[in-house]
Amino acid sequence: MIKLIKSTFYQEEKTKQKLVHFIKNARQLSFGKECENFEIKFARWQGRKHCVMVNSGSSANLALFQALLNIGYLKKNDLVGFSAVTWSTNAMPIVQLGLQPVPVDIELNTINVSSKQLLKVLKKYPLKMLFITNLLGFCDDLEEIVKICREKKIILTEDNCESLGSVYRGKKLGNFGLASTFSFYVGHHMSTIEGGAICTDDEDLAIMLRLVRAHGWDRNLNFTKQKELRKKFHINQSFYARYSFYDLGFNFRPTEIAGFLGNVGLNHLPEIIKKRERNFMKLAKVLYTKSDRYYPLKYQHLTVNSNFAFPLICTSEKLRNELVKKCANKVEIRPIVGGNIRLQPFFTKYLTGDRFPPTDNADLVHRQGLYFGNNPELTRQEIELIINLFNS
Ligand SMILES: Cc1ncc(COP(=O)(O)O)c(C=O)c1O
């Protein structure tokens, strides 16, 4: 059986040995130097000024929305567009924090939101923000989307939890908007077991994210910012200063174990991406050619397609159902991410009666899509087995 997730870490045995050694010798395992080093290195790797590490990609999304509200970039009831095909905890914070979610349909040939789909939605829905998901290493015409958002003063942020390392027109995905979120969950590109991060070039947002990440207090802010906050709120005794809570927050701090694993994982990241891209190309050349079985996906516009799971959209529901049976005990498959989020029970529970723009392509992906894992440690034989299985 070729599993969706082959191992917890790339080079699992060596990484586990390093981890054991680290834990034995570490004096502190709660948030500390390893996490802080990771933040510096990850920001550099991504090409962003700031990185705030958290304990999952879902926390990254929730923290980002809370920080945007705290800082006043967003206010309650603002309309927030999101990619109709994405993960649950991409859309959930919009509902949880009193904003209004608006699903934006995707394109069948990129499984991502395009400028065309965005413009269609904007005719009826004056979005204040677009939280776009760069799905499975792909994107559509992001540069056009950036232009539209700039012209219409829409805040653009990217959920890049599935596209760490993808490059479009010479720029890494995750660098097109105000901020971007990342996941380091086991099955994703780089594993800290659970983990996530938010990257941004906006200093005020980064400061607020650090506050939101840890209880709403100022302990992880620099001295100047602490002084400023304490002065503003007349907190002049150090006894209270450490226990003053300035705005709404959570506890999303990662542990030093995640920080350590992140630092180890970053060293392997270029190799992981290269291997996954090589697998992707082998599979795409066969499975994305014109056929009566699958909709061909477009990937040639990407300089690097950093893909961790290979999506297929069948031309009929019947074929998808046949493949589900055929793959049993051979290749583990699943729906494409969360399918069309609009059709998920949580969405229909909390958004009854609301009117939304049509999401025909996302509906089709929901009914006819599937994906299997693209692991850097897939063998040539395993790739051949996958190709034979899906191509016959
Ligand atoms: C697009 C997207 N956003 C967010 C997440 C949440 O990440 P995590 O599992 O680290 O909470 C996922 C998870 O798979 C995802 O696919």
Supply the pLDDT for residue 238: 79
Let me know: does 185 contact 254? Beta carbons within 8 Å.
no
Let me know: does 121 contact 112? Beta carbons within 8 Å.
no
Please state the atom number of ligand 1 nearest to the C-alpha of residue 61.
4
CA-derived radius of gyration, the chain: 21
Element (H, E) at 303: strand 302-304
**∠ at Cα 132 (3, 85), nearest 5°?**
45
181 plus 283 within the same structural domain:
no
Supply the pLDDT for residue 29: 98
Supply the pLDDT for residue 236: 80
218 plus 315 within the same structural domain:
no
209 plus 297 within the same structural domain:
no
Supply the pLDDT for residue 201: 98
CA nearest ligand 1 atom 15, residue: 87
Ligand 1 mean position, distance from CA 115 (Å): 24
234 plus 175 within the same structural domain:
yes
246 plus 312 within the same structural domain:
no
Residue 274 burial by Cβ neighbours in a 10 Å radius (0-12, 13-18, 19+): middle
260 plus 292 within the same structural domain:
no
CA distances from 261 to 38, 45, 60, 131, 256 (A): 9, 16, 18, 28, 8
Q: How many C-beta atoms surround the C-beta of residue 319 within 10 A?
A: 16
Q: How many C-beta atoms surround the C-beta of residue 131 within 10 A?
A: 29
Ligand 1 mean position, distance from CA 337 (Å): 9
Ligand 1 mean position, distance from CA 87 (Å): 6
* Residue 351 placed within a domain: yes
* Residue 4 placed within a domain: no
Please state the atom number of ligand 1 nearest to the C-alpha of residue 196.
10
Ligand 1 mean position, distance from CA 187 (Å): 10
Please state the atom number of ligand 1 nearest to the C-alpha of residue 187.
14
25 plus 165 within the same structural domain:
yes
Let me know: does 282 contact 344? Beta carbons within 8 Å.
no
297 plus 211 within the same structural domain:
no
* Residue 230 placed within a domain: yes
User: Which residues carry out catalysis?
Assistant: 188
Which amino acid appears at position 106 of this protein? Answer: I
250 plus 291 within the same structural domain:
no
The structural domain count of the chain equals 2
Q: What is the pLDDT along the chain (392 residues), one digit of tens a residue?
A: 999 998 999 999 999 999 999 999 999 999 999 999 999 999 999 999 999 999 999 999 999 999 999 999 999 999 999 999 999 999 999 999 999 999 999 999 999 999 999 999 999 999 999 999 999 999 999 999 999 999 999 999 999 999 999 999 999 999 999 999 999 999 899 999 999 999 999 999 999 999 999 999 999 999 999 999 999 999 987 789 999 999 999 999 999 999 999 999 999 999 999 999 999 999 999 999 878 999 999 999 999 999 999 999 999 999 999 999 999 999 999 999 999 999 999 999 999 877 899 999 999 999 999 999 999 999 999 999 999 999 98
Which of 87, 136, 184 most suits a substitution to test ligand 1, by most atoms within 8 Å of the C-beta? 87
CATH of the domain at 376: 3.90.1150.10
CA nearest ligand 1 atom 8, residue: 57
- Would you say the C-alpha torsion 248, 160, 45, 154 has a positive or negative sign? negative
* Residue 374 placed within a domain: yes
CA distances from 284 to 1, 324, 335, 390 (A): 21, 20, 18, 12
Ligand 1 mean position, distance from CA 385 (Å): 28
* Residue 204 placed within a domain: yes
Q: Among 204, 231, 265, give the residue marking a domain's end.
A: 265
* Residue 197 placed within a domain: yes
Determine the structural domain holding residue 156 and report its residue range.
Answer: 12-265
* Residue 58 placed within a domain: yes
351 plus 257 within the same structural domain:
no
Q: Among 221, 246, 265, give the residue marking a domain's end.
A: 265
Q: Among 218, 246, 265, give the residue marking a domain's end.
A: 265
Query: Which protein residues are within 6 Å of ligand 1, measured from CB?
Result: 56-58, 61, 86-87, 89-90, 133, 159, 161-162, 183, 185, 196, 337
Let me know: does 218 contact 256? Beta carbons within 8 Å.
no
150 plus 285 within the same structural domain:
no
* Residue 2 placed within a domain: no
Q: How many helices (H) and strands (E) does the chain have?
A: 14, 13
Which of 161, 252, 336 most suits a substitution to test ligand 1, by most atoms within 8 Å of the C-beta? 161
Which of 180, 185, 194 most suits a substitution to test ligand 1, by most atoms within 8 Å of the C-beta? 185
CATH of the domain at 66: 3.40.640.10
101 plus 224 within the same structural domain:
yes
Ligand 1 mean position, distance from CA 60 (Å): 9
